[in-house]
Structure 1
Amino acid sequence: MSILVLVVDDEPDIEALFRQQFRKDLRARRFVLEFAHSAAEALARITATIEQSLILILSDINMPGMTGLDMLPKAKEIRPEVPVIMITAYGDAETSKTALERGAERLLTKPIDFGQLRQEIEARLEQAA
């Protein structure tokens, strides 16, 4: 069974950035990165992964249509056991408070600290083992 990490972001270059940052892990098949380019697409993917080991959802907050903050409680309703980390360019206190109230585990600000993100993924991989 593959271990999945779902990345939700409407920016097209995010997928290439993540694949480049985690290329060794992906090549070693430690986990699989899946990408959704909208909150609606993410909810469909989360629902479709019920039988798979989804260990982490990383979601941008500001997206057209449904925002990451609007998606968050719906994602937690479908997969309450899966931690969600929100990513934003605006790490203000109100956004952070709202994200945590809606079920986010934590908030990361852009530019993403991939060292910190790698630690998060490593912790989830250890829990899944």
Structure 2
Amino acid sequence: MENEHTKILVVDDEQDIKSLFEMKFRREIRRGELDFSFAFSGEEALNFMQDHASEVVLILSDINMPGMSGIELLKKIRVDHPSPHPKVMMITAYNDDDYYQQAIRNGANDFLTKPLDFSILKEKLETL
């Protein structure tokens, strides 16, 4: 029987986020519990979602990115992918109430700040 794994799309313009996630979640990845994909822009994330929408359970998206912001990406995902509805956690370097309100208003399920506390993130992922 195949392991049930959770497919997560991480969207961040910082390229080193990929190696950071692969290091922090290496046990979960090796055990087949979590399956991470990475997009380095909002546009790249939307392209990925066109092909994999039904697989993605969670999107972790940075808010501050060049080009399409995480808030704009969130709006498009909520319109273009209503069902099945992926959970979306927004990530920002700024503990900014305005971003928080915008993210919640546009359908974000949760909010994290940078630098990411991976122990908190792991706890949140266990509830998916």
| Shared fold, TM over 0.5 | yes
Seen in structure 2, the aligned counterparts of structure 1 residues 105 and 51 have a Cα distance that, compared at 3 Å, is closer
State the SS of the aligned residue for 1:62.
coil
CA distance in 1: counterparts of 2:126 and 2:43, whole angstroms: 27
Task: Return the offset for 1:2.
Answer: 5.1
2:61 is aligned to 59
Q: What is the deviation of 1:79?
A: 2.8
Identical counterparts, % of pairs: 42
Normalising by structure 2, we get a TM-score of 0.90
Structure 1 gaps, min length 5: 125-129
Could you list the per-position Cα deviations for residues 2-57 of structure 1 after superposition, in whole angstroms to 9, with x for gaps in the alignment?
A: 531000001011000000000000011112100000000001111211342x2110
Q: Which runs of 5+ in 2 are unaligned?
A: none
Higher mean alpha-carbon deviation, 108-117 vs 71-80, is at: 71-80
Higher helix share: 1
Residue in structure 2 matched with residue 102 of structure 1 by the alignment? 106
Quote the Cα distance in structure 2 between the aligned partners of 1:120 and 1:46: 22
Secondary structure of 1:76 counterpart: helix
- Looking at structure 1, the residues matched to 80 and 5 of structure 2 have their Cα atoms a distance apart, in angstroms, of 19
Counterpart in the other structure of 2:79: 77
In structure 1, the partner of 2:120 is: 116
Question: TM-score, length-normalised on structure 1?
Answer: 0.90
CA offset digits 1:68-115 (Å, max 9, x no partner) = 011101112233321100000011111100111011112111110111
RMSD after superposition: 1.3
